[in-house]
C-alpha cells in the first residue's frame, strides 16, 4: 500500500487529490492495476489530524525500533533505541546521595577497573528495575538499558565490582546513612546489603550519630 497523489485540471487551475492505494495483478489484462482503498480528498483540504492518528495507529503494529526507523529522515539511519527513564531517575538519586563520589574516593589508589562505580550502579539499577542474574544483568546493560558512562558490560566486571563492594561496605554504608539522614531528615536505623543466595553474609551495620553497632546475621529473625 502507498499514498497516491493525482492531479486534475479545473477551470480554476490544478487540484491534487490523495488516496490510499494498492497495486494488484490483473491476470486477464496481464498487468498491474491500481485499486483505491480510501480517498482522503483534496490535498489542500486534508484532515492532517486524522492522518496523524492513522499513522500512530499503524505504528503500533511495528516494533519500537521499526517505528522510529520508518520516521527517520532521508540520509539518517536508525541504530538502536533503549529506555532510559528509570535508570536516569535512579542515577539522579545516586548522585544526590553522593554514592558516586563516595565510591570514587574509595576506589582511588586501587588497581581496579575505573568503571567500578558505574558497574555497581548498573547492578543496583538492574535490581530495582528488572532483577536478573549477573550474566543477564550484563546483557541488560549492553542491549536493553541506558546507563550513563557504561555503554556495555561483561559478567566478569560485575563479579569483580561485587568483590570490591564487599571490601568497602562499611565505609559506604556510613556515608549513605549520613547523606540520607541529612537529605531526607530521616531516622535510619539499619542498612541492608542485598547479596546473592550463595554469598557469604558479613555483619550488617547499624549506624547512629553517636555510635556504630554490628549485628551478626544469625541474630536477625527470619
pLDDT tens-digit series, residues 95-113: 988 888 888 888 887 777 7
Q: Give every CB contact of residue 58 below 8 A, 6+ residues apart in sequence.
A: none
Domain co-membership, 94 together with 175: yes
Confidence of residue 194 (pLDDT cuts 50, 70, 90): low
CA gap 73, 168 in Å, rounded: 50
Nearby residues of 166 by Cβ (< 8 Å), 6 or more positions away: 202
The reply to whether 222 falls in a domain is no
- 120 and 94 together in one domain: yes
Q: Are residues 160 and 126 in the same domain?
A: yes
Which pLDDT belongs to residue 182?
Answer: 63
Residues 174 and 135 in one domain: yes
Residues 93 and 178 in one domain: yes
112 with 145, same domain: the answer is yes
Residues 104 and 149 placed together within one structural domain of the fold: yes
pLDDT at 216: 44
In a domain, 40, yes or no: yes
Q: Does the structure show a pLDDT above 70 at 200?
A: no
* pLDDT tens figures, 31-68: 888 888 888 888 888 888 888 888 888 888 877 767 77
Q: Is residue 139 part of a domain?
A: yes
Of residues 2 and 16, the one with the higher pLDDT is 16
Clarify whether residues 165 and 94 are in a common domain.
Answer: yes
- Total domains in the chain come to 2
Cα(138)–Cα(145) distance, integer angstroms: 10
Same domain for 90 and 66: no
Whether residue 158 contacts residue 134, with contact meaning beta carbons closer than 8 Å, is answered with: yes
| Whether 63 and 127 share a structural domain | no
pLDDT of 15 > 80? The answer is yes
At which of 71, 102, 123 does a domain end?
71
pTM, two decimal places: 0.54
Averaged pLDDT for residues 112-136: 87
The answer to whether residues 62 and 113 belong to one domain is: no
**Same domain assignment for residues 12 and 58:** yes
| Domain span at 89 | 85-182
Determine, yes or no, domain membership for 207. no
The answer as to whether 210 is a domain residue is no
158 within a domain of the structure (yes/no) = yes
- Residue 130, domain member (yes or no): yes
pLDDT at 195: 53
Report the C-alpha gap between 137 and 139 in whole angstroms: 5
For residue 170, what pLDDT band results from cuts at 50, 70 and 90?
confident
Q: Mean pLDDT for the chain? A: 78
Q: Does residue 193 lie within any of the structural domains?
A: no
Amino acid at each position: 500500500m502507498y499514498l497516491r497523489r493525482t492531479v486534475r485540471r479545473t477551470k480554476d487551475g490544478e487540484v491534487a487529490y490523495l488516496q490510499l492505494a494498492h497495486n494488484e495483478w490483473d491476470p486477464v489484462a496481464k498487468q498491474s492495476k491500481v485499486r483505491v482503498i480510501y480517498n482522503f480528498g483534496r490535498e489542500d483540504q486534508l484532515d492532517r489530524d486524522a492522518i496523524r492518528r492513522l499513522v500512530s495507529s499503524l505504528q503500533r503494529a511495528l516494533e519500537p525500533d521499526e517505528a522510529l526507523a520508518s520516521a527517520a529522515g532521508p540520509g539518517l539511519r536508525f541504530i538502536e533505541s533503549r529506555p532510559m527513564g528509570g535508570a536516569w531517575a535512579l542515577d539522579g538519586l545516586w548522585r544526590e546521595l553522593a554514592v558516586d563520589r563516595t565510591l570514587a574516593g574509595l576506589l582511588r589508589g586501587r588497581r581496579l577497573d575505573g568503571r567500578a562505580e558505574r558497574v555497581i550502579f548498573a547492578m543496583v539499577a538492574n535490581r530495582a528495575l528488572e532483577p536478573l542474574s549477573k550474566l543477564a544483568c550484563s546483557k541488560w546493560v549492553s542491549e536493553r538499558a541506558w546507563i550513563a558512562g557504561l555503554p556495555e558490560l561483561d559478567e566478569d566486571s560485575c563479579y569483580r565490582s561485587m568483590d570490591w563492594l564487599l571490601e568497602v561496605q562499611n565505609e559506604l554504608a556510613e556515608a549513605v546513612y549520613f547523606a540520607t539522614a541529612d537529605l531526607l531528615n530521616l531516622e535510619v536505623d539499619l542498612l541492608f546489603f542485598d547479596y546473592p543466595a550463595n554469598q557469604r553474609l558479613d555483619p550488617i551495620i547499624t549506624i547512629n550519630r553517636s555510635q556504630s553497632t554490628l549485628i551478626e546475621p544469625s541474630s536477625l529473625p527470619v
